[in-house]
Structure 1
Amino acid sequence: MSNRIIAWPLALLSLVVTLYGLANVMPAIGDFRIGPFDMVFFRGSFFALCAVVVMLSVLGRSDGSFQHRLISLVAVICTLGLLWSSWSFYQISSKLDEAMFLFGPAEMWLALIAAGGSLFFCWRIWGVPVALLGIFGILYMATGHHWPGILQTVEMDMAETLAQNLLYSLDSGILGSTFSIVITTVFPFIILGAVLEGVGAGDSMIRIAFSCMRHTAGGPAHAAVLSSGLFGTVSGSAVGNVVGTGVVTIPMIKRRGFTPNFAGAVEAAASTGGQIMPPIMGAAALVMADFVGVSYLTIIIAVLVPAIAYYGSLFAMIVFESRRLGIKVDANEDNGVGQPTRQDYLNLLLIFAPLGLIVVLLIMGLSPSGASISALALLFPLSFINPAVREKPIKLIQALCGGGRTFSQLLMAIAAVSIVISALSVTGVPLKFGILLGSLVSDSLLLSLVIAAFCCIILGMGMPTLPAYVTVATIAIPAMLQLGLEPLTAHMFVFFIAVASAITPPVALAAFAAASISGGGPVGTSVQASKVGVMIFAIPFAFAFNPLLLTVDSAGVEFSLVAWLWLLVKLVVGILLVATALTGFDKRKLNLVEILVRLAAACFLLAPGMFMDPIGVALTVVALVWHRRADCKVFRLKVAD
């Protein structure tokens, strides 16, 4: 089917999804209120609208081949099934508060149709891993009583179990509590991010970043980190960030003298970090606030130091890689994007004014959705300071359409995750996993964290951050809480590792996207990205053992300024030690023993315990003195020659 035929209906329906969703979470203005609508009606109707949007997106990808025509036919059938299921959900779920309802085979098959349609679209949009996870959840829910050993579940009525836990419940299933959190909290931020991208400040941000970094040896690589960090906090998508900024930054990083793999790795690592950069971050952070039961402002404060530390580590890796390759400063290099103009600096208001308003409103006590809608209301008139928007105001409508389309696609992944959560909940897997983990690791928090991190990376392969975070949080966090972690710290740990899965081989979506631009190898780029962004794996362990790093009392430690500052000093030194060790270069090339000493020093500095700090400090002093003396010796030999 022609893309041109699909484009207008898709845009129009995406706009309807956006306006309908915003109307539901719109705060009251005096006595005037649009939403929230009746919850059962809104969930069913909103999901139905999103299903049609996703169907049109799938049809728009068709190239006319037999395979694509078959996929298009299945997409239409699945959409009809989802519409029918949404109507049935409204008819039945609205009566559950009034009287008991006995679910039979008809409701079971409708629930399976809803699950099958959602997983089909999830496969088409997000790939096989997410869809397979949902299929596994359904199979386990239906056949768990036949599984051996600890995996065996209590036998239940299949029709009632599948119907209620897949579809007909406001607490579990496709339209359950996770769905509610996403549409009331995450949705406004996704629309705000889409509009922030659409108002055209991205190019200005890149030009300013290149101008600021022109006097550094890393040049374009540092600019990529800076621009991707700013752009990422708006988009909240690692792959979208790579595509949005990487097409400009990666070729320039290569021209400066870095390898294609390193160029792609820097962009992938920087883009991935955008999901942990306040104030917007990714959708998972908004869900985490609801799961933990703290304000979103608390999440922002808690993640601030780790996020800055991560981006600081990227800058450090680039500095020492530049030294290793002998790359010098070239302030006169043509960066290909031109010098920033007055309008570029003015366009930054389009980014910082809405983000600043969000922070102020959160401090004043407004809800995240209310703050994001207020920022959206500010952004619309403010966007006209950009001549491109004044010339084509339709860009704002197009941005709203893009936001609705993006969210509709995300909702299919949420449907798959909701199926998994329901399967885990009804079968008691989190409790069993907690007991099993407790018996395996006894009181070892480190081993528990390593297992949780491994599970998160495995489940996160090929998945968006939000599904990976929610799935692992459901399974692993109860066990982590048993070992003494506070809920905020445990959830933040899982959140960071879920974000890191975007650059973790063998399936690293952000790294693969960067490799397609840089011309490097996908696996090589993902390995290099894991090395460049290694602190995104290390920092979660650091704040798990030192919760003071998260700054807030909810992390489980009373704030102490002196202890906090000392922790920051250790973190900075640890980052520099790791950066030099992994690049194998400081003032000169490091040998294997020096590398191992530096890595050991970093580990001791960030590990808890009375005797860890002195050992870490001693090893750091040994490493630096050793390196300085050896460097002076090399210098004297060169002078003598």
Structure 2
Amino acid sequence: MNTSATDSTATDKNRRPGMRDILCLAIGLAIATLGLLNSMPAIPGLPRVGPFGYEFMHPVMLGLAACAAVARSGLAWNRPVRSPALRVLVAVLDAALVGALLYTLADYYQTMMQLKSGLFFFDPRHAWIALAGVGLLLAICYRVWGLALTLVAGTALLYFYTGQYWPGLFNMVPVDWVEGTAESLWYNSSNGVLGSLLGIVINTILPFILLGALLEGTGAGGSMIRISLHAFRYARGGPAHAAILSSGLFGSVSGSAVANVVGTGVITIPMIRQRGFSPAFSGGIEATASSGGQIMPPIMGAAALVMADFTGISYLTIIVAAAVPALLYYGSLFIAVIFEARRLGIEAEPEVSELDPALMPTRQDWINLIMVVVPLTVVVVSLLVGFSPAGSGIMALASLVPLSLVLNPAIRKAPWQLVLALGRGGNSFATLLIAVAIVGIVVAVLSSTGLPIKFAQLISASASGSLFMSLLLAMFAALVLGMGMPTLPAYLTIILIMGPAMLRLGLEPLVAHMFVFYFGVASAITPPIAVAAFAAASISKASPLKTSVEATRIGLVIFILPFAFAFYPELLLVAEAGGSDRIIDLLSILLRLVLTIVLITTALAGFDKRALSRLNSAIRLALAVAMLVTWPWLHWPAFALGLALIVSHYLTPVKKEALA
């Protein structure tokens, strides 16, 4: 599996730094510094450098990102090169490729400035430069992100030039070679590779990427893992519960499911196996917890920040809307571990390895928690007092740096660790920016062809006016489109194609975006290409496909929740969702959802207090589905039957239970 280059450093920590590492650090620091200067909020009494114009900022940041990606992974050679002559040749080839891309970016700046100054016409030279820039970025994307994202963008590009030959729904008028290529793909301030989507990521997301990198660099991430392991050491699930808590908290900040699996899973997954869980379950629970971090407030990874810009809804409102579904999802993971532990007969006794002094939290670990709580609090408070999301992220960074120097002696002795963390954060952002630039190709094609509108009409016709069937079709389309992609580009690709269809269903924009966002997250654990589950399988030594199937079983609630808040938007708590403002309606669906989660989890595990028969499991699943139907005459009797079934299961002795 080709995972993101953002995760490659997990295996390189003990390697002696080379020239390429130093170059990556320098580029990462340049990205971090320029990005922070650009996003710095206006604070009375302090000078403000940015924001810079998009004509300058977009090509410079994308150029730096490309340099970092090539320097980090090596574009021209996938294996270590031992021959000095070949090393020189590879370096020259990489430099030539990056140099060519930088030339196309420099031409973007010059052309956009000319466009602003007056009358301007594109010529074939601009079309060839645009096509060369897109091709070079696709090559870099393949090396950094693998085949899935590259294939999606490549297919979109192929369709852009051959759409007039496609049948039916996909048929379109031919594009003008010069205008279509130059303006749609490259020289455009709204769409295309260097358009507004790239600007959203540069202006909004960078501070939060750097915040996650600093939390890890200051030791706060490791402290969360040790404290979580200590807190659950006498629970049945033990390290499995710890993995859910630590991965959920840290995944919210890091925004990358795969990076979170690699970062926390190397500690938690072996310990989950030692507690007695199967390798596939061990990897699956880590994958589900790490993926779900992106739906957990208050940070929610990068996609929620983009959602705020797309919808025009405040980031703080999105945080509030995400709270209840996220808590229900993580509650379902804890319940899944409890019943799996019961099924396997695992007792609440820690393994010797779990009591290893090296894994026991020290006084410093508890102090380091302050470095987690304070920045997250600063983010929320800054949003409440009126700062932008980017400004709130920078305020959190500004609080974390002095806190780490005051509270952590290791940072005081080696303050350059903060610089190294910023460099790593800049490199992580670079790989994300490459992905978003590639999604810009898809944006350009969709904007030029009007395909999303046609797709919306097709879904409406196929579903025959049924909201449920329309949502079901949208779910399958979202999972397919998100296969193999990280969450942010998956969410962007899905919402661009499915967004008009969602709005045609009568959903509020916030509900439609949250629906798509959830399935963008879910695609990381959904077979056959489940990037988070595959990353976990590489640590647990289980079959990747079996791990993804297990992760889907454990995290099934993430597939149910979007339908729940689509039909019951009051779950999102905010007026923008368009739900009922009566507290009784919220309590009604919450009560039914909690029992639904218990019934589904026990049915899929085949175990509650004791083993369940297939008939009992089937009945539980049927009642769980019935409880979510909007008709009161059906969901309340189903609720009563479900509750009675559980009570009778616990009260009936084993030998007299009819269905067990």
Superposition TM-score tier, normalisation by shorter sequence: over 0.9
**Contact 1:122-1:416 at 8 Å conserved across structures:** yes
Match of 2:474 among 452, 461, 471: 452
Shift of 1:68: 8.7
Task: Work out the CA distance in 1 between the residues paired with 2:63 and 2:284.
Answer: 39
Alignment of 1:279-294 (within 5 A): 279-294=298-313
**Contact 1:197-1:235 at 8 Å conserved across structures:** no
Which residue pairs with 2:48 in the alignment?
33
SS of alignment partner, residue 529 of structure 1: helix
**Contact 1:28-1:34 at 8 Å conserved across structures:** no
SS of alignment partner, residue 44 of structure 2: coil
Task: Work out the CA distance in 2 between the residues paired with 1:377 and 1:618.
Answer: 53
Matched, 1:46 2:50: no
Shift of 1:260: 0.7
Which residue pairs with 2:322 in the alignment?
303
Match of 2:227 among 198, 208, 211: 208
Task: Work out the CA distance in 2 between the residues paired with 1:69 and 1:134.
Answer: 32
Task: Work out the CA distance in 1 between the residues paired with 2:282 and 2:204.
Answer: 35
Matched, 1:357 2:378: yes
SS of alignment partner, residue 15 of structure 1: helix
Which residue pairs with 1:17 in the alignment?
31
**1:462-496 CA distance string (max 9 Å, x none):** 11111111111011121111111110001001001
Shift of 1:264: 0.7
Matched, 1:55 2:70: yes
Which residue pairs with 1:256 in the alignment?
275
**Contact 1:587-1:631 at 8 Å conserved across structures:** no
Shift of 1:81: 1.9
Alignment of 1:155-170 (within 5 A): 155-170=174-189
Moved more, 372-381 or 612-621: 612-621
SS of alignment partner, residue 523 of structure 2: helix
Which residue pairs with 1:523 in the alignment?
545
Which residue pairs with 2:81 in the alignment?
64
**Contact 2:160-2:175 at 8 Å conserved across structures:** no
Instruction: Identify if the C-alpha distance between structure 1 residues 635 and 590 changes in structure 2 by more than 3 Å, giving closer, same or farther.
Output: closer
Which residue pairs with 1:577 in the alignment?
599
Give the residue type in structure 2 aligned to 1:457: L
Instruction: Identify if the C-alpha distance between structure 1 residues 153 and 69 changes in structure 2 by more than 3 Å, giving closer, same or farther.
Output: farther
SS of alignment partner, residue 502 of structure 1: coil
**1:272-326 CA distance string (max 9 Å, x none):** 1111111111211111111111000011001111111111000000000111111
Which residue pairs with 2:620 in the alignment?
598
Give the residue type in structure 1 aligned to 2:388: S
Task: Work out the CA distance in 2 between the residues paired with 1:130 and 1:74.
Answer: 24
Matched, 1:367 2:361: no
SS of alignment partner, residue 503 of structure 1: coil
Task: Work out the CA distance in 1 between the residues paired with 2:283 and 2:26.
Answer: 36
Moved more, 160-169 or 437-446: 437-446
Instruction: Identify if the C-alpha distance between structure 1 residues 65 and 295 changes in structure 2 by more than 3 Å, giving closer, same or farther.
Output: same
SS of alignment partner, residue 557 of structure 1: coil
Moved more, 617-626 or 199-208: 617-626
**1:365-408 CA distance string (max 9 Å, x none):** 21100000000001001012112212211110001100111111
Alignment of 1:626-641 (within 5 A): 626-628=648-650, 630-631=652-653, 633-634=655-656
Alignment of 1:417-428 (within 5 A): 417-428=439-450
Give the residue type in structure 1 aligned to 2:327: I
Task: Work out the CA distance in 1 between the residues paired with 2:466 and 2:92.
Answer: 53
Matched, 1:119 2:133: no
Match of 2:367 among 346, 371, 375: 346
Task: Work out the CA distance in 2 between the residues paired with 1:250 and 1:289.
Answer: 34
Give the residue type in structure 1 aligned to 2:130: A
Moved more, 583-592 or 149-158: 149-158
Shift of 1:74: 4.9
Shift of 1:597: 1.2
Task: Work out the CA distance in 2 between the residues paired with 1:517 and 1:145.
Answer: 47
Which residue pairs with 2:4 in the alignment?
none
Which residue pairs with 1:639 in the alignment?
none
Shift of 1:134: 1.3
Unaligned runs of 5+ in 1: 637-641
SS of alignment partner, residue 611 of structure 1: helix
**1:54-111 CA distance string (max 9 Å, x none):** 2211239651069998876554333112111111111111222333422121101100
Which residue pairs with 1:199 in the alignment?
218
Which residue pairs with 2:515 in the alignment?
493
Shift of 1:421: 1.0
Alignment of 1:209-228 (within 5 A): 209-228=228-247
Shift of 1:565: 1.8
SS of alignment partner, residue 419 of structure 2: helix
Give the residue type in structure 2 aligned to 1:388: A
Which residue pairs with 1:616 in the alignment?
638
SS of alignment partner, residue 291 of structure 2: helix
SS of alignment partner, residue 282 of structure 1: coil
Instruction: Identify if the C-alpha distance between structure 1 residues 631 and 487 changes in structure 2 by more than 3 Å, giving closer, same or farther.
Output: farther
Shift of 1:440: 1.0
Task: Work out the CA distance in 1 between the residues paired with 2:644 and 2:402.
Answer: 59
Shift of 1:635: 8.9
Shift of 1:149: 1.9
Give the residue type in structure 2 aligned to 1:26: M
Task: Work out the CA distance in 1 between the residues paired with 2:549 and 2:439.
Answer: 28
Matched, 1:138 2:153: no
Which residue pairs with 1:435 in the alignment?
457
Which residue pairs with 1:154 in the alignment?
173
Matched, 1:246 2:265: yes
Give the residue type in structure 2 aligned to 1:234: V
Moved more, 501-510 or 564-573: 564-573
**1:443-463 CA distance string (max 9 Å, x none):** 111121122111221121111
Instruction: Identify if the C-alpha distance between structure 1 residues 393 and 62 changes in structure 2 by more than 3 Å, giving closer, same or farther.
Output: farther
Which residue pairs with 1:107 in the alignment?
126
Give the residue type in structure 2 aligned to 1:28: A
Which residue pairs with 2:22 in the alignment?
8
SS of alignment partner, residue 115 of structure 2: coil
Task: Work out the CA distance in 2 between the residues paired with 1:462 and 1:72.
Answer: 30
**1:196-225 CA distance string (max 9 Å, x none):** 111111221112111211231111111111
**1:492-524 CA distance string (max 9 Å, x none):** 010010001111111111111111111111111
Matched, 1:586 2:625: no
Task: Work out the CA distance in 2 between the residues paired with 1:332 and 1:410.
Answer: 39
Shift of 1:37: 1.4
**Contact 2:307-2:513 at 8 Å conserved across structures:** yes
Shift of 1:622: 4.3
Task: Work out the CA distance in 1 between the residues paired with 2:308 and 2:580.
Answer: 20
**Contact 1:92-1:168 at 8 Å conserved across structures:** yes
Moved more, 603-612 or 306-315: 603-612
Match of 1:377 among 371, 374, 398: 398
TM-score by length of 2: 0.93
Task: Work out the CA distance in 2 between the residues paired with 1:512 and 1:71.
Answer: 30
Moved more, 371-380 or 619-628: 619-628
Kindly report the root-mean-square deviation, in angstroms, between the aligned alpha carbons of the 2 structures.
1.9
Instruction: Identify if the C-alpha distance between structure 1 residues 568 and 246 changes in structure 2 by more than 3 Å, giving closer, same or farther.
Output: same
Which residue pairs with 2:207 in the alignment?
188
**Contact 1:119-1:412 at 8 Å conserved across structures:** no
